[in-house]
Amino acid sequence: MIKLTRIDDRLVHGQVAFTWTPALGVNCLIVANDKIAKDEFMKLTLGLAKPAGTKLLIKTLSEASAFLNDEKNKELKVLLLINSIKDAAVMANDVAEIKSINVGGIRLKEGAKLISKAVAVNDEDILLLREMLNEGIELEIRQVPTDSKQMVAGLI
């Protein structure tokens, strides 16, 4: 069961390990990213940041979708981590269980603008966010579980 789908360009880090993981009671982190799934150094680095006693799986988008759609994996309590809005849109399209997405952090890049203190989006991101909203997916911004939800719809 997916407990939370989170977009955060840092993927596995302190907020995930020390606040989200215990607050959600997850036992499995899944990083869905085509590039990182093929990068042994990044996989090692992310593995060092994972909380003790929690399984970390790093998969391509298609592998992650297949894993999450497989009934035999439904007993896992999953925190799904994605590093871009584009990849989140793909995952939301491929995995029916994704009905809500938390946007935790997307750093400022060229052509992007801040819509909150930790989330920067460009025009392509805004189009994808609107498409997901039109599909009925809840999109909210929170850094940590104790923050109040900021609804993306009101910020774009």
Q: Could you report the per-residue pLDDT of 75-129, keeping only the tens digit for each?
A: 999 999 999 999 999 999 999 999 999 999 999 999 999 999 999 999 999 999 9
- CB under 8 Å to 45, separation ≥6 — which residues? none
pLDDT range class, residue 27, cuts 50, 70, 90: very high
pLDDT at 14: 85
Please give the Cα distance from 99 to 83 (Å, whole number).
18
Structure tokens at 68: 């999450």
Which residue type does 6 have?
R
Collapsing DSSP to helix, strand or coil, 117 comes out as coil
Per residue in 129-147, pLDDT (tens digit) is 999 999 999 999 999 999 9
- The domain that holds 128 is classified in CATH as 3.40.35.10
Q: Please return the burial class of 23, using the count of CB atoms within 10 Å of its CB with bins 0-12, 13-18 and 19+.
A: middle
Q: State the total domains in the chain.
A: 1
Q: Which residue segment(s) compose the domain that 94 sits in?
A: 2-154
pLDDT range class, residue 2, cuts 50, 70, 90: very high
